[in-house]
């Protein structure tokens, strides 16, 4: 995560945005207010999707089981592929 001051970001906000890629987050530090975070829309959407998938305890457990099976090599390729 890159951290910049509000003054620095305000001088050339375009350059702050231009230096980011899909997985970057820029924290804009402010003196008398809460700090702000800037991220790409793709990264934001990815975070929101992850939160959605993990908010259900049943779905979260199912995903954890699937990841464990994958790591244990218990994966079968689908005939769709």
Domain borders along the chain are: 2-39, 42-71
Calculate the average pLDDT of the chain.
Answer: 90
- State the angle between helix axes of 41-54 and 57-71 in degrees (0 to 180), rounded to the nearest 10: 100
pLDDT per residue as tens digits for the range 29-46: 999 999 999 999 999 999
Output the CATH code of domain 2-39.
3.40.1620.10
Q: Note whether 17 and 27 are within 8 A (CB).
A: no
- pLDDT (mean) for 54-68: 92
Give per-residue pLDDT as tens, 23-33: 789 999 999 99
Check pLDDT > 70 for residue 11: yes
2 — alpha (psi -120 to 50), left (phi > 0) or beta? beta
Confidence (pTM): 0.69
């Amino acid at each position: 995560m890159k951290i910049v001051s509000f003054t620095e970001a305000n001088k050339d906000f375009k350059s702050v945005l231009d230096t980011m890629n899909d997985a970057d987050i820029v924290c804009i530090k402010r003196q008398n207010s809460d700090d702000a975070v800037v991220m790409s829309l793709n990264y934001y959407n990815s975070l929101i999707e992850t939160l959605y998938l993990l908010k259900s305890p049943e779905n979260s457990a199912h995903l954890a089981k699937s990841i464990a099976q994958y790591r244990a090599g218990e994966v079968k390729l689908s005939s769709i592929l």
